[in-house]
A and B are shown apart, each in its own frame.
Chain A
């Protein structure tokens, strides 16, 4: 199934480049390590063989679309990438007319860290086949059940099919509904416990800002964390500075986050960034009946208002 999708992607890319309909195709190629795929920029027909599709295509490629200048771009987009594209269109950040969207119904991506933790020894080769994840090392070979090794964001995904596309690769998959959001459990705890969880969660942050770099919706020219007049986030080692970064980063995603989980996958310290965003997404949906990246014609909720908005908390 995935190999057939890869073949179809290569075919579409070849056709688009041959007919000079795009300048570049953004997709995935095989990574230099097992369990990885890397974003690739294909500019010529001869390079199209590099394009692949498998269960490790975890990056959100929409990340690149805010920097394409006047190039005509084709982009391989799974459900979350397509939502990011729509969200960026709603924020008038990308020109739809210069985009060709190669939509791919997503089989959901495998968490490489979970897979690596499930076996003893280093995984040297990995392959997804049907519902299995076959991994191989120097002295082992195992077939793991793929569904047990998915990213949390993928397990909770409710938009696996591209919400927008010019070409669709393969048949749409069946969508699931969100059950058991991880933030609900925390909501039942005391504020004391919640603070303990939050401060513990972010305490290992090394401030590499990979979460920001990976996020398709983080496109500010100058991020508040880099601002120096005033300097909002102290440069020292005080935990409150790190906590503030995470609070404000997450808040900036309110009504904009497409729940792709790219931030969390990029985090070298494996910090749970997804739960906070999931909570924000749930609140925004509840308060303003809005979900980011579904319609390009709807203004994001914090950029607009309604005189009848909830305000019972205001004295």
Chain B
């Protein structure tokens, strides 16, 4: 690991809560680590676990999935479905040997700009502790 290494973290944010939360953090000028790359999705229930695994394969050092708090889903149940998938997926990836600390889930509402910055802080710290991802990462054939 080079001393100035910074993790790249892919953040899947739901359109209705977490993305707006991230937006609020930005408009409120709240500082948080610039390590996340945001992908806006309609709902956390939209996130196919395949996306998460693909992100890890394409070189993400960590993945954050964030949606609406329970009961707040714009589509009523999307975040509940996401929670079930997440519960199984994280255990399974851990079982295969992909470090648990690379995969994070959170509920962030549109009003929680501060919480969003804290989540990103926490996730970035956790991924930094693990160092660069080496498992499942596809060899770079491009420059």
> CB distance A305 to B92 under 8 Å?
no
Q: Which of A198, A224, A311 has a CB less than 8 Å from the CB of B87?
A: A311
Q: B77–A305 contact, CB under 8 A?
A: yes
A310 to chain B, nearest CB (A): 6
Determine the interface band of chain B, counting residues with CB < 8 A from chain A.
35 or more
Mask: chain B, 127-143; 1 = CB below 8 Å from A; 0 = not: 00000000111110100
B interface footprint on A299-310 (CB within 8 Å = 1, 0 otherwise): 001111111011
Please name the residue on chain A nearest to B49 by beta carbon: A251
Q: Which of A107-115, A163-171, A282-290 contacts B (4 or more CB under 8 A)?
A: A282-290
Which residues of A are found within 8 Å of B87, using beta-carbon distances? 287, 309-311, 313
A50 within 8 A of B: no
Cα distance, A195 to B70, chains bound together (Å): 33
Q: State whether A194 touches B53 (Cβ < 8 A).
A: no
B93 on the A face (CB < 8 A): yes
CB B74 to nearest CB in A, in angstroms, measures 15
Chain A proximity mask over B106-118: 1 for CB below 8 Å, otherwise 0:
1100000000000
- Taking CB atoms and an 8 Å cut-off, the chain A residues in 249-271 that contact chain B are 250-251, 254-255
A288: which B residues are within 8 A, CB to CB?
84
Interface size class of A (residues with CB under 8 A): 35 or more
Describe A's contact surface by its main secondary structure: helix
Contact check, A186 vs B95: say whether CB atoms are below 8 A apart: yes
Contact A313 B88 (CB under 8 A): no
B19 at the A/B interface (Cβ < 8 Å)?
A: no
* B103 (CB) vs chain A CBs: closest residue: A313
Asked whether any CB of chain A lies closer than 8 Å to the CB of B85, the reply is: yes
When chains A and B are docked, how far (Å) is the Cα of A311 from the Cα of B89? Answer: 13
Give bound CA distance, A248 to B57, whole Å. 12
Contact A301/B84 with A276-B96, A314-B105 known, Cβ cut-off 8 Å: yes
Would you call B105 and A234 a contact (CB within 8 A)? no
Taking CB atoms, residues of chain B closer than 8 Å to A251 are 49, 53, 88-89, 92
A250 in contact with B104 (CB, 8 Å):
no
Q: Do the beta carbons of A305 and B80 come within 8 Å of each other?
A: yes
Which residues of chain A have C-beta atoms less than 8 A from B98's C-beta? 191, 195
0/1 per residue, B15-51, Cβ < 8 Å to A? 0000000000000000000000000000000000110
Task: State whether B105 touches A232 (Cβ < 8 A).
Answer: no
Interchain CB contact under 8 A, B138 and A194: no
A280–B96 CB distance below 8 A: no
A302 CB, nearest partner CB in chain B, Å: 6
15 pairs from A and B in contact (CB 8 Å cutoff): A191-B100, A194-B97, A195-B96, A195-B98, A197-B97, A232-B50, A240-B57, A248-B50, A280-B92, A284-B88, A288-B84, A302-B88, A305-B77, A309-B84, A315-B123
Beyond the given pairs A195-B96, A247-B53, A315-B107, 11 more chain A to chain B contacts, judged by CB atoms under 8 angstroms and listed by A's residue number, are A240-B57, A240-B139, A243-B136, A244-B53, A280-B88, A284-B88, A302-B84, A313-B87, A314-B106, A315-B119, A315-B122
